């Protein structure tokens, strides 16, 4: 049918709106949707806050004393509940308040526990008379420092950095009191090529 053959009132347009088949949403339903979204947002914030405050906390590594396990500017999560329900073990990588300035935090590896006998001879660490096999310390990061024989005091932990030649640790500031240790290094999440469990 051509334009001339159409009856009056039959003209069509490609831009004419289609017939509405859906009723408008009541104002009450819209408000309910907003309230539901806000509720979900608040729950997410509360859960995230709980995780950060009580379970896991993101931190940034500053320095190279824990190379090659942790690099400068790595981002990782620390487990804040690990030592509330469990004990600190040899080899754990822990985060603690620097004994000489509680405004700073350090991250080091636990080498000796309370009551352990520790000494260091030309870079070789002996705990309870046994030389440690420290696979986490590459040869190029070793040093030849020595430490006189000592018994780690009760409630204290002897910690050291894996990059022995540059690390400031218990060889310098002494064992760390248990009350200063507040987390266990758990998982590197950034950068992507470093992602993985801290061992």
The Cα-based distances of 95 to 41, 50, 51, 178 in angstroms read: 31, 19, 17, 11
- What distance in Å separates the CA atoms of residue 168 and residue 195, rounded to the nearest whole number? 26
Q: Which is it for the CA torsion 81, 85, 88, 89, positive or negative? A: negative
Residue 104 annotated in active site: no
3 state SS of 57: strand
Q: What is the DSSP letter of 80?
A: S
Catalytic residue among 32, 44, 48, 65: 65
Decide: 179 and 70 in contact? Cβ < 8 Å.
no
Query: Distance (Å, rounded) from C-alpha 151 to C-alpha 161?
Result: 20
Distance CA 176, CA 107 (A): 12
Report, in angstroms and rounded to the nearest whole number, the Rg of the chain calculated over CA atoms: 31
Active site residue 48: no
Catalytic residue among 80, 108, 167, 170: 108
Active site residues: 65, 108
């Amino acid at each position: 049918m051509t334009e001339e053959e159409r009856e009056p009132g039959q003209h069509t347009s490609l831009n004419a709106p289609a017939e509405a088949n859906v009723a408008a949403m009541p104002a009450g339903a819209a408000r309910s949707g907003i309230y539901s979204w806000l509720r979900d947002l608040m729950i997410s914030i509360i859960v995230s806050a709980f995780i950060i405050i009580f379970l896991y906390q993101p931190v940034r590594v500053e320095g190279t004393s824990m190379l090659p396990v942790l690099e400068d500017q790595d981002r990782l999560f620390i487990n804040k509940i690990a030592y509330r329900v469990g004990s600190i073990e040899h080899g754990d990588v822990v985060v603690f308040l620097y004994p000489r300035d509680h405004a700073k935090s350090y991250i080091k590896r636990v080498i000796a526990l309370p009551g352990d006998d520790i000494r260091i001879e030309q870079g070789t660490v002996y705990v309870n008379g046994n030389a440690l096999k420290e696979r986490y310390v590459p040869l190029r990061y070793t040093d030849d420092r020595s430490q006189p024989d000592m018994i780690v005091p009760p409630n204290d932990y002897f910690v050291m950095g894996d990059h022995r030649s540059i690390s400031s640790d218990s060889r310098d500031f002494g064992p760390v009191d248990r009350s200063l240790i507040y987390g266990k290094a758990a998982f590197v999440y950034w950068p992507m090529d470093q992602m993985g469990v801290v061992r």
